[in-house]
Structure 1
Amino acid sequence: MDQRFTKALAILLLISVVLACSLLRGKRPLTWHIMLEIDATVPDRESAVRQTVTIIERRLDAAGVYNFEVLPQGIPPNGQILVNLPDVSDRERLQKLITAGGRLELTAVISPPSPAPVQTYDTSEEAAASLGKAVPANRRVLPYAERSEPTAAGNGSASNGQAKKWVVVESPAIVDGSNLRTASAVPSRTGSEDYQIAFALNADGSQKFGTWTGAHINEYIAVVLNGEVKSIAYIKSQIYDQGEISGRFTKQSAEDLALVLRSGALPAPVKIVEEGANK
């Protein structure tokens, strides 16, 4: 009886020590802050503030920041958010994680199908002119850092080029970040030291994507991140739930982007209007 009691007491003490260490780790002092401001043109700023607070908290948790405060300012909220933070080794990286838009879209490119090369334009004006007097509501003109050659979707990627081009894409997107199930950083399959982001879609996204790709073999699709085309591929066969974002990502930048995508896109652009030490 005494031996069982002693053993149970030892286990209880061990659990208490672990919990105490965890609590101590989570109580690092908040030594600095940033003040964020949501884009003033957002129609429902109060709702955007609430969503932004939730997403920033999710990102900080995922980044392993154990003590922080994300506080809407004003009653009702005035569009500003105060973020109090503990000291970290790389403040610039943390600021980028907090403010990254994280808006992912997979959208059809307006172009003749493969084997014809994807239709690109040298300027945004040239791309817009291809649509007539005005860009219709179901089209968008987006920048694209052109690759040497678009690849078959799911078959890897060509190396990055330097020329900035413009493309016309359909709107709305086939699927977007709300259809994302997971995202992770993986080494590039080109044999370089670059990384890419592999992602998988949820059931709803898979159904939409599978239906579209099955009906559009050899047509071009763009991976769009925060309003910029990151890669273009042609549909070689029906695809349901897998995709990738290719580019010259380092391991750290790929991991950070995957974290942002998993945490959800911000509902509106934010900017840092103040940074400083806490008194």
Structure 2
Amino acid sequence: MRLKKVRGAIVALAVALALWYLYPTLKFYTLSEEARSRMSPEELARLSERAVKLGLDLKGGMYLVLEVDLSKLRPEERKDAVDRAMQIITNRVDQFGVAEPVVQRQGKDRIIVELPGLKDIDRAMKLIGQTAQLEFKLLKPKDERDLVLKKMDEVLAVKKPKPKGKAEELFQEAPEDTFLLSHPFTGLMYRLGEEDLGVRVEDVPKVKELLSKPEVQKVIPPDGEFLWAAKPEVIGGEKYYRLYYLKKRPEMTGAMIKDARPDVGSGYDPSVAGRPIVRFSTTKDGVRLFARITGANIGRRLAIVLDRKVFSAPVIRTRIPRGNGQITGLESMQEAKDLAIVLRTGALPAPVKIINKQVVGPSLGADSIRKGVKAALIGLVLVVVFMVAYYRLCGLIADLALILNLVFLVAALAGLRGTLTLPGIAGIILTIGMSVDANVLIFERIREELRQGRTALRAISNGYSQAFRTILDANLTTLITAVVLYQFGTGPIRGFATTLSLGIIFSMFTAVVVTRVILDALVGGEV
């Protein structure tokens, strides 16, 4: 009798806890738009936090698999490069404002990013994948640049052919582009202002091809490099990209950046006034370093380089003692905000490449929810009808246990701050069929005991005790499989493994404990 009371108390406590954890989910997803508008943002956020979250396949959003390129890192840098990249991406996503993002490591060099409810896909991909390697580099003097350009023309120039023998061939028209033949590199360039060189947008691929040639790379000094401007400029109706010749070694890097904020430029410069900019401040060490760099190079130009693209190259007019600066050349305030985010969170330790991208629209997610719920209800109704038809009262008790199993499962997801995905719904549907399996074993054992002439109380006791080992073995093997799926799977597979594991645990509880409490109460009442 005492054991029966303990079982009853456990069941009552479990039901009370389940309803407590399930209530926020029911309330959140049944709230009308009017009721939501009446609630404060803090109240709505608290309620949302306690409710079951929907995965991106149900809510809509983006799923990315990123690969970190470790090939250019030293062995000692590779050890924690992926973990550092994951932390930086997590910080960027958090500042991006996505609710309930998931960032997790997969294997040796891959990172999975899930962004439920995301709408601006292109912006998110740029924000996540940008290396954000900020560098401050001094421009090389103009005479050094021109000398290198002259050598490049010399190694690329087409040698003039020897005069031909026939008289009529000597008087043939000379090629129109003889200057380009003797100046194959600088012939594609135009002077922009007093010092800069520009390349027309249509000629940029050709210039990049020439720059990549081994003979051209040999004439570029080891301490110098050519870098392109981040964006083209329109001059005289033509679009040009500036090409800068800089010192290869940076004077300062983004590691010295303490803070960065978007702003609107002011002053008389039309390229800055009223345009979006990013103002930054440096750390204490950065303040000293920036003051030393600017003080020692007054009159020279300091390029602000982000991911090997020059955003601006202003002239150092005076020493900057406080370590403040600004980045110009941005097209929109959104771009300024995103750049400020990546500068604040830091540069990725290595480039990342997007190797898999899946985007689910909100309408497709809503359709998945409808179909998943419909499938679950159909499965539930079929199981309920079969159990009642075959086992009568015992079947009705098993159906009650099945419904409690589903209540416990969803409540556990809410309590564990879990996320429900489409494969998770499949796991719930599978649980519906599996949860009554244990009851079938128990009821068949009880029938055998009754046929042998035992009393109802003895038949129930023997039926549960004899079936328990079989039930435990069957569920334990399935649970092990679910744990392996969760441990080695990712994303959707983990969602399936989670609901399957919880379903197995709660089906054991409802089949062995809940139904036993109800049967003992009924039979005890008869006796």
Q: Same fold (TM over 0.5)?
A: yes
Corresponding residue of 2:55: 29
Please list, as runs of the form range in 1=range in 2, the aligned pairs for 1:59-138 lying within 5 A after superposition: 59-74=92-107, 77=108, 79-112=109-142, 117-118=194-195, 120=197, 123=207, 133-138=218-223
Contact 1:107 1:223 in 2 (8 A): yes
Corresponding residue of 2:346: 264
2:218 is the counterpart of 1:139: no
Pairwise CA distance, 1:19: 7.1
Unaligned runs of 5+ in 1: 1-13, 150-160
Instruction: Report Cα offsets for 1:27-65 as digits up to 9, x if no partner.
Output: 453334111112252335452211110001000111122
**Greater strand percent: which structure?**
1
Greater relative CO, 1 or 2 (CA 8 Å, sep 6+): 1
Contact 2:198 2:242 in 1 (8 A): yes
* Cα distance, 1:60–1:186 mapped onto 2, change above 3 Å: same
- 2:316 equivalent among 235, 244, 253: 235
- 1:54 equivalent among 62, 87, 112: 87
* Cα distance, 1:121–1:63 mapped onto 2, change above 3 Å: closer
Contact 1:118 1:220 in 2 (8 A): no
Contact 1:195 1:248 in 2 (8 A): yes
Corresponding residue of 1:153: none
Q: Following the alignment from structure 1 to structure 2, what is the Cα–Cα distance between the partners of residues 26 and 187?
A: 41
Q: Following the alignment from structure 2 to structure 1, what is the Cα–Cα distance between the partners of residues 43 and 309?
A: 49
Q: Following the alignment from structure 1 to structure 2, what is the Cα–Cα distance between the partners of residues 193 and 21?
A: 42
Corresponding residue of 1:188: 265
Contact 1:184 1:258 in 2 (8 A): yes
Contact 1:26 1:67 in 2 (8 A): no
Q: Following the alignment from structure 1 to structure 2, what is the Cα–Cα distance between the partners of residues 26 and 83?
A: 20
Pairwise CA distance, 1:146: 6.8
Pairwise CA distance, 1:261: 1.0
Q: Following the alignment from structure 1 to structure 2, what is the Cα–Cα distance between the partners of residues 23 and 112?
A: 60
Instruction: Report Cα offsets for 1:232-272 as digits up to 9, x if no partner.
Output: 11111001311111114211111111111111111111121
2:105 is the counterpart of 1:20: no
Q: Following the alignment from structure 2 to structure 1, what is the Cα–Cα distance between the partners of residues 299 and 51?
A: 53
Corresponding residue of 2:477: none
Structure exhibiting the larger radius of gyration computed from Cα positions: 2
Q: Following the alignment from structure 1 to structure 2, what is the Cα–Cα distance between the partners of residues 245 and 91?
A: 25
TM-score (norm 2): 0.42
Unaligned runs of 5+ in 2: 1-39, 144-192, 200-206, 361-420, 423-527
* Cα distance, 1:127–1:205 mapped onto 2, change above 3 Å: farther
Contact 1:185 1:196 in 2 (8 A): yes
Count of residue pairs the alignment pairs up: 248
Q: Following the alignment from structure 1 to structure 2, what is the Cα–Cα distance between the partners of residues 26 and 236?
A: 58
Pairwise CA distance, 1:132: 8.6
2:357 is the counterpart of 1:275: yes
* Cα distance, 1:104–1:132 mapped onto 2, change above 3 Å: closer
Instruction: Report Cα offsets for 1:77-116 as digits up to 9, x if no partner.
Output: 1x22111221212122112111112111111000249xx9
Pairwise CA distance, 1:231: 0.8
TM-align CA RMSD: 3.3
Q: Following the alignment from structure 2 to structure 1, what is the Cα–Cα distance between the partners of residues 299 and 293?
A: 12
Q: Following the alignment from structure 1 to structure 2, what is the Cα–Cα distance between the partners of residues 232 and 225?
A: 12
Pairwise CA distance, 1:118: 3.4
* Cα distance, 1:25–1:89 mapped onto 2, change above 3 Å: farther
Corresponding residue of 1:226: 307
Q: Following the alignment from structure 1 to structure 2, what is the Cα–Cα distance between the partners of residues 102 and 25?
A: 36
Q: Following the alignment from structure 1 to structure 2, what is the Cα–Cα distance between the partners of residues 212 and 128?
A: 34
Identity rate, percent = 28
- 2:335 equivalent among 238, 243, 253: 253
